């Protein structure tokens, strides 16, 4: 899967994108976020309040139960502030 991070989530995690193999315990957005938090203190800090985290899979907003698959483009970012 291809992961993208934006705004302060990108700044806190310290990277804009990364290519990761889908671990066996990850099957939906919720389990993906739980797994990412174990990847280091930067991930744990960035993702500690999921109320301020939005996820898009293949460029559509999705909820925590949305299924993730290898090959998906998964973007994680704070609430948008454009306009």
Partner 1 sequence: MIRVQREDFDVGAELEALTKGNPRIGGVASFIGLVRDMGGSDRVTALTLEHYPGMTEKKLAEIEAEANKRWPLDASLIIHRYGRLEPGDRIVLVATASPHREAALAACHFLIDWLKTDAPFWKSEETPEGKRWVEKRAEDDAATQRWTIKS
Which residue's CB is nearer to partner 1, number 8 or number 23?
A: 8
The CB-of-56 to partner 1 minimum distance in angstroms stands at 6
The CB-of-24 to partner 1 minimum distance in angstroms stands at 28
Which residue's CB is nearer to partner 1, number 24 or number 79?
A: 79
Instruction: Quickly count: other Cβ atoms within 10 Å of residue 77's Cβ.
Output: 17
CA distance linking residue 83 with residue 13, whole number of Å: 26
Binding site for partner 1 (CB under 8 A): 4, 6-8, 56, 59, 61, 75, 77-83
Half-sphere exposure of 58 (CA within 13 A, CB side): 7
């Amino acid at each position: 899967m291809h992961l993208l991070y934006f705004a302060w989530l990108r700044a806190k995690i310290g990277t804009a994108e990364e290519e990761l193999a889908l671990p066996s315990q990850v099957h939906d957005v919720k389990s993906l976020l739980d797994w990412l938090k174990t990847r280091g203190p930067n991930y744990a800090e960035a993702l500690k309040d999921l109320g301020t985290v939005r996820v898009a899979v293949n460029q559509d907003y999705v909820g925590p139960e949305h299924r993730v698959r290898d090959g998906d483009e998964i973007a994680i970012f704070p609430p948008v502030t454009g306009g």
